[in-house]
Structures are given as C-alpha cells and as structure tokens.
Amino acid sequence: KGQVFSGIQPTGVPHLGNYLGALESWVALQNEYSAVMYSIVDLHSITQPQDPHMLRDNILDMAASLLACGIDPTRSILFQQSQVSEHAELSWILGCLTSMPRLRHLPQWKMKSKQKNEGSVGLYTYPVLQAADILLYKSTHVPVGEDQIQHLELAQDLARIFNNQYGEFFPEPCALLSGTRKVKSLRDPSSKMSKSDPQKLATVFLTDTPDDIVLKIRRAVTDFTSEVTYEPESRPGVSNLVSMHAAVSEQSMEEVVRLAEGMDTGQYKNVVAEAIVQKLQPIRLEIQRLRADRGHLESLLAKGAEKARSLAAPVMTEVRKLVGFC
Ligand code: TYM
C-alpha cells in the first residue's frame, strides 16, 4: 500500500503539538501500512548547537517517548538517523540538484537563522537532508504537522528533478496531515507550540505532571469574551483549547463546544486540563519506566538501524549506478 516515513528531532521530550500533530497518527499508521519507519533525526538536531552528553540522553529519551506513545518496534522500524550513513550520502547528491534560492524561504532557515544572525550551511540545507530521509526508502506517505508542508514540497520537487535527470526512480511522497494540524503556543496563540519556546508556560510536554498541566492550561492566553467558541481566526487562544480538547478526548469541535455551553473560559480551562491529564498520564508513567533501562533502548535502536540499513543499501546502490559512480 505504500511506504510510510517520518522523523522527529531529539531536542527534548516531545510536546502536545508533536503528539497531536504527528505522533498519534504515527501510531495509528502502524495498523494501516505494512512498511512503516520512524527516525530520531539526530543529524538534523545538530543544525542547532547541542551539548554532546545531552544529545546522547535526548536520543534515548526520544526512543522512550516514542515507545511510550505506542510505537511498536515489531510493526515499525524505529531507528537513529546517524546510524544509517546513507542519509548523509543521498543528501549530498540531492544537494547538488538543489538551487540556493530554492532553500532561502523555507521555514527552518527563516526562523532559526534570524535568531542567530547567521546560520550554518547545515541549517540552510536542513530540508535537503529531510528529502534524503524520505526518498532513501522510496517513501510514499509522510505523516507530519502543518509546519512541515514546505519541506515536503521540496522532497517532491527533488524526486521529480532526480527522475528527470537520471530516469524514473523515486515516487513523489505525499504528506499525511492529522486532524490537529497545528497546536499553538499557550502564551502566544499566533505561533506554534514548540520545544524551544523560552516561555516555560507555553508548552505542554508529555512528561508534565498533572499539576504542571493544570497550571499551564489555567494560565493559557485567551481573550476577554467569556463564552467558549471555536473561531480560530478571531479567537485563536480559546480555539486552541477547543482543538486540543477535541483531539485528546476524541470528539469533534462541535461536540466540545456544545459540552462547554454555559461555562466561562475559566471553568472550561479546568475541563480541558483534566482531559489532557487523562490522555498524557499513562504516557508519562510509561516514559519514566522505559527511561530507566538505557541498555534496552540502545539495543532496540541498534536493531532498528540494522533493518533500516538493509533497506537503504540497495536503494543507494541503484542511485550510485544512476548517477554514474559505478
Ligand atoms: P520536529 O522534531 O520539529 O517535529 C516532529 C513532528 O511534530 C510536528 N509538530 C507539530 N504539529 C502540530 N503542532 C505543533 N505545534 C507542532 N510542532 C511540531 C511536526 O510537524 C513534525 O511532524 N523536520 C522535521 C523532522 C524530520 C522529518 C524528516 C519529518 C526530519 N526528516 C523526514 C518527516 C520526514 C522536524 O523538525 O520535526
């Protein structure tokens, strides 16, 4: 039916945006597709400075988080990107097919290079490596949040450009968007929820305690209207709460809004917080349990890498032939 591929950066514990925008559908896709791969993209993470010890810990923590969310290594291939060197090799070849202006407007560069005044070559070519991740397994379906659409478009372009130059080889991958495309920051509903937000109350992490979650939701920025409605354009704050609530309680927005009739936003926040706690509590406990056994996580990742390499190697052999290296 197709090949599913997606990735997540090991830059800390995933947050509710990662979960609702991507990870929840990663889990569901394991039942729908027979070929499913999920990668902890450490090569991408070093486009921002990383402390080596922390990075190592974050990779294993990410493995624990993905398993706790329901990624099952018997039904999908879970692996660490840098353990499969073909990703970097294909990225180089695709980079030679990418023009500089094509990358200038892509979100990662636009956001992150501004914060730093100047960004690295790696940050600039970040989306080329992402295209290599996807194409290396001839992937057809890529479950991601809305913020990754432009990166997906580059992967589609590069599949087409490669095929035009060297002959039909890569399928054009398509994005699979979940119902909750973009979870917003709790402190600024005009921007997305993000791991690196310096405002501590902006982001709900999968490891947050019930008290943390209640505090963050109660302090979420809304507006001066007390009624609960879903109007993402004019009322982004309260609409973000409605959309998170609908997602974690598996209800439609309409059902959630109906349920909140007669409540003011203050009372409603308690309901939302409770629903998020219910959803995240078992995941948090499972992360804690899995985190304790580093050896087990390392051996799982080693097995995943072995499987990924066995799929990547024959594709790269073909690519090398097509390009004229052999
Ligand atoms: P990353 O690590 O930033 O995020 C992982 C996934 O979470 C989604 N996401 C969100 N969804 C909804 N609302 C939010 N606030 C939110 N924040 C993050 C992202 O869309 C993503 O699906 N470049 C990728 C990693 C990557 C990749 C790939 C993805 C590398 N190679 C190949 C797919 C295929 C990234 O930075 O994800």
The DSSP symbol for 160 reads H
Per-residue pLDDT tens for 233-291? 999 999 999 999 999 999 999 999 999 999 999 999 999 999 999 999 999 999 999 99
For position 180, what pLDDT does the model report?
85
Residues 6 or more apart whose CB falls under 8 angstroms from that of 68 comprise 206, 283, 284, 286, 287, 290
For position 300, what pLDDT does the model report?
98
Question: Mean pLDDT throughout 55-75?
Answer: 98
Q: In the predicted model, what is the mean pLDDT of the chain?
A: 96
pLDDT at 115 over 80: no
Boundaries of every domain in the chain: 3-182+294-323, 207-288
Q: Is 114 a catalytic residue?
A: no
pLDDT at 118 over 90: no
pLDDT at 73 over 90: yes
pLDDT at 114 over 80: no
Per-residue pLDDT tens for 198-214? 999 999 999 999 999 99
Catalytic residue among 138, 182, 184, 192: 192
pLDDT at 26 over 70: yes
| ipTM of the complex as predicted | 0.99
* CA of residue 89 to ligand 1 center, whole Å: 22
pLDDT band at 119 (very low <50, low <70, confident <90, very high): confident
For position 93, what pLDDT does the model report?
98
Report the side by side order of strands in the sheet with 77-80: 77-80, 35-40, 3-8, 141-144, 174-177
pLDDT band at 74 (very low <50, low <70, confident <90, very high): very high
For position 116, what pLDDT does the model report?
65
Q: Is 112 a catalytic residue?
A: yes
Please choose, from the candidates 94, 88, 92, the residue with its C-alpha nearest in 3D space to the C-alpha of residue 160. 94
* CA of residue 259 to ligand 1 center, whole Å: 31
| % of the chain exceeding 70 in pLDDT | 99
Question: Mean pLDDT throughout 177-202?
Answer: 93
CATH: 3.90.226.10, 3.40.50.620, 1.10.580.10, 3.40.1110.10. Which one for 3-182+294-323? Answer: 3.40.50.620
For position 160, what pLDDT does the model report?
98
pLDDT at 111 over 90: no
Question: Mean pLDDT throughout 169-182?
Answer: 93
Domains 3-182+294-323 and 207-288 share a fold: no
Question: Mean pLDDT throughout 71-86?
Answer: 98
C-alpha to C-alpha distances, 203 to 43, 45, 54, 90, nearest whole angstrom: 24, 19, 20, 35
Residue bearing the CA closest to ligand 1, atom 5: 8
The CATH architecture annotation of domain 207-288 reads Orthogonal Bundle (1.10)
pLDDT at 117 over 70: no
* CA of residue 20 to ligand 1 center, whole Å: 11
Q: Is 200 a catalytic residue?
A: no
Site to substitute for ligand 1 among 15, 26, 147, 182, most atoms within 8 A of C-beta: 147
